[in-house]
Amino acid sequence: MPVARLLRLFVPLALLLLVAGPLLWAVGSTVPFGMQAPAWAALLQHPQTWPALGMTIWTGLSATLLATGITACILARWLAANSTAQGLDKWTRWMSPLLSVPHAAFAIGMVALLAPGGWLLRLISPWPSGLESPPAWATTQDPWGLGLIAVLVLKEVPFLLWAALAYVQQPGVQAQLRQSLRLAATWGYSDAQAWWRIGWPQLVRHLTAPLLAVLAYSLTVVDMALVIGPTAPPTLSVLAWQWLQDADPDINAQGASAAWLLAAVLLGCAGALVAWRAWPLWRQRQVRGVTLAQHAITLRKPDAVSAPLVALLGVYAAVLAALAAGSVSGPWPFPALLPEVWTLHAWEGVLRSSRTVWITLGLGLLSAATALALVVAWLEWAPLDWQRRMRPVWMLPLVLPAVLWVVGLHRLSLAWGLDGQAAGLWLAHTLSTLPYVLIALQGPYGGVDPRFQQVSTALGRSRAAFLWQVKWPLLRSALAAALAVGFAVSVAQYLPTLYVGAGRFQTVTTEAVTLASGGQRALTAAFAWLQWLLPMLMFGLAAWWGRPRRWPAAAQ
């Protein structure tokens, strides 16, 4: 049997064992642990369960719907402005700085801005506001969950834009979408009606995985909820995490049951959204009441198109500026706008924790490279039918509740003797980054023109030569970007690092979230800034490595 045929048979089967095996094992192992009848009885009778569940549904659904609506409006502006492929590529590159900001670091920065003693209130304190001390306002960890909703929306809009633009940039997609909108205009539809009746329904069908990821994260987030979320009651994911950390096995089982309850809520919310979208009257009513989008799509000037992105960049810049200033601040009494003393004591503390930085770098690079190798092998050698059918399995870490996923990872590490080991932590981070790398690479990988391989074969070149000399060099930018995405996801991992690592491995994320609950403002800001800086450097290296080649002009 030819070697190429053996590879086509062996590689997909090996990948199924390497990837699907641990994923399904991790999920399956949580079933007996989280399905104990006494634990469920204690969960349903606990006085905090139902208020926490209500807060979870309110914050998660609100953040998902707002992020989706804002994304649709921004895409409407871009398409209405007739952005070229180069223009969309520019917008996609601008998403990288926003995506590189980890959720926990962003939440810590928002607290620095919005807290009663934060920058925003300090800005207005010199004016006739009468503020001489921080007011007792619930601007963060408010009982309504508004702070958590705000940071979730601001973090998820760039992710949805990045996923949408990655799809639109595939060959022929943008032209087909514009052709549909022009055809709708000939039928008498306005720009807004054409977008909401034809354009957006076409696009949103291909954003199922990113939308489910946003919904799952918004309903089950832990690290951001610990930093800026409500506390009375907390969200159910925070409550489940607190129970899972308890020394009592019965309380642990109660936490696992709460994780499965979150999974059931997520499944119900996803089903409700799908059913609402499929509702026959939805197509007739989707234009009514969407005045924001109707106005947005009629704004065709470049300034109007770039305004949402500029606003997003402004918010992120303010957050990072607050973290940078906080990391070098000394005594800072209210209502002074600037600290009394500027000091590098916090960064000296970071340098003393150099082991934490090296663990973060090594773990992120190793897990991202492993995930990239697995994804490339899967996309290259697995049949398209296999890829379509196994995609839900690869997406499990993305759509499962975070606490349920980390319980599965912990049970897996215990069963395989990897608990508290570096290998177990590497496996946990690799499995967690896989779906993000797959989303980042699947579109560009499938968009390579198959005629390139036909020409290569006709010239007598082997498949290996085609991959090394043609296909992968063409995909250099996409491969580098996928590696950067995987690295950023690994750096942001909080629960797997804390749970599977058994507290033996500290990363900049675990340090930042732990310090956020204490009073060391400068050290917290320094670790949060570093949590953003590392992925940003990786995205910068990916952009440099993936830059297009420039050949010297031929001599005249």
pLDDT value of position 67: 92
Residue 195: DSSP 8-state: I
pLDDT digit string, tens, across residues 342-384: 888 888 888 888 899 999 999 999 999 999 999 998 888 888 8
Same fold, 1-34+346-547 and 47-234+280-343: yes
pLDDT value of position 3: 58
φ/ψ (deg, to 5) at 381: -110, -20
For residues 154-160, average pLDDT: 89
- pLDDT at residue 72 above 90? no
- List the chain domain ranges: 1-34+346-547, 47-234+280-343
- pLDDT at residue 328 above 90? no
- Supply the mean pLDDT for the chain: 80
For residues 113-123, average pLDDT: 78
pLDDT value of position 92: 65
- DSSP 3-state of 342: strand
pLDDT value of position 153: 93
- pLDDT at residue 410 above 70? yes
Backbone torsion region of residue 342, taken as left when φ is above 0, otherwise alpha when ψ lies between -120 and 50, otherwise beta: beta
* Residue position matching structure tokens 């990786």: 538
d(CA 521, CA 346): 9
Taking the domain 1-34+346-547, which CATH number applies?
1.10.3720.10
Supply the angle between the helices 146-168 and 103-114 in degrees, to the nearest 10: 140
pLDDT digit string, tens, across residues 202-257: 788 778 778 888 888 899 888 888 888 888 889 999 999 889 888 788 888 898 89
pLDDT, greater one: 503 or 288: 503
Is residue 488 within 8 Å of residue 536, measured between CB atoms? Answer: no
Question: Residue 112 — very low, low, confident or very high, per pLDDT cuts 50/70/90?
Answer: confident
pLDDT value of position 170: 67
Question: Residue 279 — very low, low, confident or very high, per pLDDT cuts 50/70/90?
Answer: low
pLDDT, greater one: 538 or 461: 538
d(CA 235, CA 226): 9
pTM: 0.82
* Residue position matching structure tokens 């349920």: 404
Exposed / middle / buried, residue 471 (Cβ in 10 Å: 0-12, 13-18, 19+): middle
The pLDDT > 90 percentage for the chain reads 14
Who contacts 406 (Cβ-Cβ below 8 Å, separation ≥6)?
Answer: 495, 496, 499, 500
Class at the top of the CATH hierarchy for domain 47-234+280-343: mainly alpha
pLDDT value of position 124: 72
